[in-house]
Amino acid sequence: MLNSLLTVAFLSQCLRISVPYAFPALGATFSERGGVVNIALEGILLISAFAATVGTYFTGSPLFGVVCGIAAGGLTAFLHGLITITLKADQIVSGIGINLLAVGLTKFCCQLIFNSSSNSDRIAGIDQWSFFGSIPILDNPFVILIFILAIVMQFVLFKTRFGLRLRSVGEFPAAAESLGVNISRMRHAGVVISGVMTGIGGAWLAFNQHSFTDGMSAGRGFIALAAMIIGKWNPLGALAACLLFGIAESLSIQLQSTSQYIQFIQLIPYVVTMIVLAGFIGRAVPPAADGIPYEKDAA
Amino acid sequence: MLVGPLIALLLSVVAGGIFILSIGQNPIEVYTRFIGDSLGNAYGIGQILFKATPLMFTGLAAAICFKANLFNIGAEGQMTIGAFLTGLVGSYFQGLPGWILLPASLVAGMAGGAAWGIIPGYLKARFGAHEVINTIMMNFIAMGVVSYFITNIVGVPATVHTPEISPSTTLARLESFFPVFHGSPVNLSFFIAVVICLGAYIFLTRTPRGYEIRALGLNAPAAEYARIPIRKNIIITFALAGACAGLGGMNFILGYKHYFELGFSEGSGFIGIAVALLARNNPIGIIVTSLFFGMLEYGSLTINTIVPKELSNILQAIVILLMITLTKVLGGWIERKRSPEPTNA
């Protein structure tokens, strides 16, 4: 039993499952550190998976598909920013609206392009362009990318001027503004970065399955938010939480044939998130101004 | 107060027209058919009433929490647990007479939904854990728990539904009183939903508890100063919201299919949020906006051959996004009109 778990195949399965959690979770740290709650990530993941599918389908190039995924992710996130930062509307409700929009829009367009609201045609996947093909686990550029990006983003957030400003806007925007930081621009940057990151995750989803299916994000955007919370709003912590979720999920796949409690094992990430949020495993403290639109005269 | 919702509706109809145009169809023709097939005959109206029924319950589940300035994204999970228990009680106690079994299965639904609401409510009240993430997590947990019981314990083998409920606990279709509704699944649940909306209105506006909940939403520190127990009211609000959502399965289970089935809700837990927003969280308004969203859902089915039915999801989303932005924009405009002097420090 244990032997079958400690194989390279198991490890690479854990990593593969973690990828679509990791991109949105890493992105979410930037959005929330800047003070914008982005539960639209679920919908952004879905829209970018569809965009990546369409881009790859019409050009035959997965690379162009990734570009489409990033563009769609960034644009949808910008819509969330426009509504919540520029127009100062509620961030949670905007996220819910965008998630609904994503479900409808992807099915609508899927029907128009592929003549089925639930499935696209088959597309090329990433196995066409694996650079490190000979080494298992590292044969996947997306897996390598999450580790590189997590380190880079951790550095940017805590060691650069941009990161300091972004965090100041999420903690105490009035003080940041008095020092000349442009609140709205910083917040927009954080939100668009979260969309771009999620866009890469969406492209991976589509390539991994070689097609688009309706609702294929399947709650991963929400789980990514949970991972970000467990990771205490830090990119490296978020990545670690995503890897933990990946292990839990691969375990449940391994146990599928032997256990009838499979549904309960799959619930572990959700339960752990609630326990962490309640403060039983260290404190989970969001940025002070997270979720609050900045009104100049309200401070 | 109706300006915002009306503008939002108007703009969403225009946006829908643009979508229809973009796929090379004539919006006027499509909308004419949409209205004609849904509102133009009793069968269509019956379908609208049927689709509107669960939305009243989930709309209330969102609105009651919004009133207390709380977010309930968990109506979907609360409804799933409640509906499952309704179906379970209704099918397990086959021998009982209807006057016991019907209330029992509804109470089971309310209790299940309330329990699912109390958990995030308690975590918020006791530990300050944010209810948005927790209610989302509770949705997933509800799905997992119910699918475990359906696949392993209580489900009819090779299906994802419970056995049929006892005939004594079914709610009659309206066609048995009004033959004009022949064929449409609208049933007595519709009237129960309307009564509960009216009850919620009276509760929120005319009772001390309703006052406390509204005070909590309007100004929590002031409410606390007035000795209104904040934590207790957070939990009560979530329990009431969950109980409403838990009743939402009645329409499908007691009035239509006569069993609980996984995935029966078709996302109505989330659409309830749109229903509540458009009604500005007014329970009587929710009756009206539920009917509107019900028409959107059924109408888009009737035009599915020329325009993909997913148009209804898109329109629902546009209504949500317009409502929150218009409230801000119009609100700011009214404020500026009232106080021409800039108040910035």
Is B227 within a domain?
Answer: yes
Q: How many angstroms separate the Cα of A7 from the Cα of each of A13, A246, B150, B329?
A: 10, 15, 34, 57
If DSSP states are collapsed to H, E and C, what string results for A114-146? HCCCCECCCCCCHHHCCCCCCCCCCCCHHHHHH
In angstroms, what separates the C-alpha of A161 from chain B's closest C-alpha? Answer: 28
Q: What is the pLDDT of residues A25-63, one digit of tens each?
A: 999 999 999 999 999 999 999 999 999 999 999 998 888
Which chain B residues in 141-180 lie under 8 Å from chain A, judged by CB atoms?
A: 141, 144-145, 147-148, 151-152
CA–CA separation, A296 vs A177, rounded Å? 9
At residue A29, the pLDDT reads 96
Mark A151-182 as b/e (b = at least 16 C-beta within 10 Å).
eebbebbeeeeebebbbbbbbbbeebbeeebe
Nearest-by-Cβ selection for B314 from A89, A108, A264: A108
Give contacts of A99 with chain B, Cβ < 8 Å: 270
Q: What is the pLDDT of residues B115-147, one digit of tens each?
A: 999 999 999 999 888 899 899 999 999 999 999
Q: Tell whether the model's pLDDT for residue A10 goes beyond 60.
A: yes
Q: Structure tokens of B257?
A: 């299919």
The residue type of A240 is A
Q: Tell whether the model's pLDDT for residue B1 goes beyond 80.
A: no
Q: Tell whether the model's pLDDT for residue A283 goes beyond 90.
A: no
Q: pLDDT band for B306, please (50, 70, 90 cuts).
A: confident
| Strand-pair partners of B161 | B261
Name residues whose C-beta falls within 8 Å of residue B333's C-beta, 6 or more positions apart in sequence.
none
Nearest-by-Cβ selection for B277 from A93, A101, A274: A93
Q: What are the E-state strand segments in A16-84?
A: none
Quickly count: other Cβ atoms within 10 Å of residue A218's Cβ.
14
Sign of the torsion angle spanned by Cα atoms B274, B278, B281, B283: negative
Name residues whose C-beta falls within 8 Å of residue A286's C-beta, 6 or more positions apart in sequence.
A32, A229, A233, B130
Mark B266-302 as b/e (b = at least 16 C-beta within 10 Å).
eebbbbbbbbbbbbbbbbebbbebbbbbbbbbbbbbb
Q: pLDDT band for B267, please (50, 70, 90 cuts).
A: confident
Q: Structure tokens of A58?
A: 């019409």
Give contacts of B312 with chain A, Cβ < 8 Å: 104
Q: pLDDT band for B335, please (50, 70, 90 cuts).
A: low
**């308004």: which residue's tokens?**
B285
At residue B337, the pLDDT reads 64
Angle of CA points A83, A88, A92, to nearest 5°: 70
Q: Structure tokens of B272?
A: 């309830």
Are A111 and B310 an interchain contact pair (Cβ–Cβ within 8 Å)? yes
- Residue B116 has, within 13 A of its CA and on its CB side, a CA count of 39
Phi-psi region of B199 (alpha: psi -120 to 50; beta: other; left: phi over 0): alpha
At residue B344, the pLDDT reads 42
Percent of chain A at pLDDT above 70?
90
CA–CA separation, A193 vs B328, rounded Å? 25
Q: What is the pLDDT of residues B37-54, one digit of tens each?
A: 899 899 999 999 999 999
Nearest to B36 by CA among B303, B327, B311: B303
Q: Structure tokens of B110?
A: 């309310």
Out of A122-126, A284-288, B174-178, B335-339, pick the least confident.
B335-339
> Residue B262's domain is classified under what CATH number?
1.10.3470
At residue B341, the pLDDT reads 47
CA–CA separation, B177 vs A219, rounded Å? 43
The residue with greater pLDDT, A134 or A232, is A232
Q: Are B76 and B269 in contact (CB under 8 A)?
A: yes
Give contacts of A297 with chain B, Cβ < 8 Å: 343-345
Name residues whose C-beta falls within 8 Å of residue B283's C-beta, 6 or more positions apart in sequence.
B60, B63, B197, B198, B200, B201, B204
At residue A195, the pLDDT reads 97
CA–CA separation, A222 vs A209, rounded Å? 20
Q: Are B135 and B120 in contact (CB under 8 A)?
A: yes
Is B327 within a domain?
Answer: no
DSSP result, B173-238: BGGGT-GGGTT---BTHHHHHHHHHHHHHHHHHHSHHHHHHHHHHH-HHHHHHTT--HHHHHHHHH
Q: Are A146 and A198 in contact (CB under 8 A)?
A: no
CA–CA separation, A99 vs B304, rounded Å? 22
Is B332 within a domain?
Answer: no
Is B16 within a domain?
Answer: no
Q: Structure tokens of B200?
A: 């919620």
CA–CA separation, B308 vs A116, rounded Å? 10
Q: Residue A119 phi/psi, 5° resolution?
A: -140, 145
If you measure CA to CA, which chain B residue comes closest to A277? B129
CA–CA separation, A190 vs B59, rounded Å? 32
Give contacts of A112 with chain B, Cβ < 8 Å: 23, 308
Give contacts of B73 with chain A, Cβ < 8 Å: 39, 92, 96
Q: Is B248 helix (H, G, I), strand (E, B) or coil?
A: coil
Q: pLDDT band for B4, please (50, 70, 90 cuts).
A: confident
Q: What is the pLDDT of residues B103-114, one digit of tens each?
A: 999 999 999 999
Are A92 and B343 an interchain contact pair (Cβ–Cβ within 8 Å)? no
Treating both helix axes as pointing N-terminal to C-terminal, what angle do A161-171 and A8-33 enclose, rounded to 10 degrees? 70
The residue with greater pLDDT, A75 or A134, is A75
At residue A117, the pLDDT reads 83
ipTM of the complex: 0.87
Are B314 and A105 an interchain contact pair (Cβ–Cβ within 8 Å)? yes
Number of folded domains that form chain B: 1
Q: What is the pLDDT of residues A242-266, one digit of tens each?
A: 998 898 888 877 777 666 777 787 7
At residue A137, the pLDDT reads 61
Q: Structure tokens of B111?
A: 């209790």
In angstroms, what separates the C-alpha of A229 from chain B's closest C-alpha? Answer: 9
Q: What's the whole-number mean pLDDT along residues A171-181?
A: 89
Nearest to A30 by CA among A290, A263, A214: A290
Q: What is the pLDDT of residues B194-237, one digit of tens each?
A: 999 999 999 999 999 999 999 999 988 889 888 999 999 999 99
Nearest-by-Cβ selection for B129 from A101, A108, A278: A278
Q: pLDDT band for B338, please (50, 70, 90 cuts).
A: low
Are A89 and B137 an interchain contact pair (Cβ–Cβ within 8 Å)? no
Q: Is A1 helix (H, G, I), strand (E, B) or coil?
A: coil
Q: What's the whole-number mean pLDDT along residues A132-147?
A: 73
Q: What is the pLDDT of residues B52-81, one digit of tens each?
A: 999 999 999 999 999 999 999 999 999 999
Q: Residue A213 phi/psi, 5° resolution?
A: -125, 150
Q: Structure tokens of A95?
A: 């996220």
DSSP result, A246-283: HHHHHHHHHGGGT-S-HHHHHTHHHHHHHHHHTTSSS-
Out of A4-13, A23-32, A168-177, B253-262, pick the least confident.
A4-13
Q: Residue B161 phi/psi, 5° resolution?
A: -135, 165
Domain boundaries, chain A: 2-298
- Residue B275 has, within 13 A of its CA and on its CB side, a CA count of 37
The mean pLDDT value of chain A amounts to 87
Nearest to B299 by CA among B35, B20, B8: B35
B134 touches chain A (CB under 8 A): yes
Which chain B residues in 303-332 lie under 8 Å from chain A, judged by CB atoms?
A: 308-318, 320-321, 324-325, 327-329
At residue B342, the pLDDT reads 46
Q: pLDDT band for A187, please (50, 70, 90 cuts).
A: very high
Are B129 and A279 an interchain contact pair (Cβ–Cβ within 8 Å)? yes
The mean pLDDT value of chain B amounts to 90
Q: Structure tokens of A235?
A: 């990119």
CA–CA separation, B258 vs B185, rounded Å? 12
Q: Tell whether the model's pLDDT for residue B274 goes beyond 60.
A: yes
The residue with greater pLDDT, A191 or B333, is A191
Q: What's the whole-number mean pLDDT along residues B254-282?
A: 91
Q: Which domain holds residue B164?
A: 26-306
Nearest-by-Cβ selection for B321 from A88, A97, A222: A97
If you measure CA to CA, which chain B residue comes closest to A276? B129
Nearest to A197 by CA among A246, A232, A150, A127: A150
At residue A130, the pLDDT reads 52
CA–CA separation, B34 vs B300, rounded Å? 7
Q: Number of residue pairs across A and B with CB atoms under 8 Å?
A: 138
B301 touches chain A (CB under 8 A): no
Q: Tell whether the model's pLDDT for residue A200 goes beyond 50.
A: yes
DSSP result, B106-161: HHHHHHHHHHHHHHHHHHHHHH---HHHHHHHHHHHHHHHHHHHIIIIISPTTSSB
Q: What's the whole-number mean pLDDT along residues A68-82?
A: 97
Q: pLDDT band for A299, please (50, 70, 90 cuts).
A: very low
CATH topology of domain A2-298: ABC transporter involved in vitamin B12 uptake, BtuC (1.10.3470)
Q: Which of B296, B325, B326, B333 to mutate to test the interface with A (most CBs of A within 10 A)?
A: B325
Q: Tell whether the model's pLDDT for residue A132 goes beyond 70.
A: no
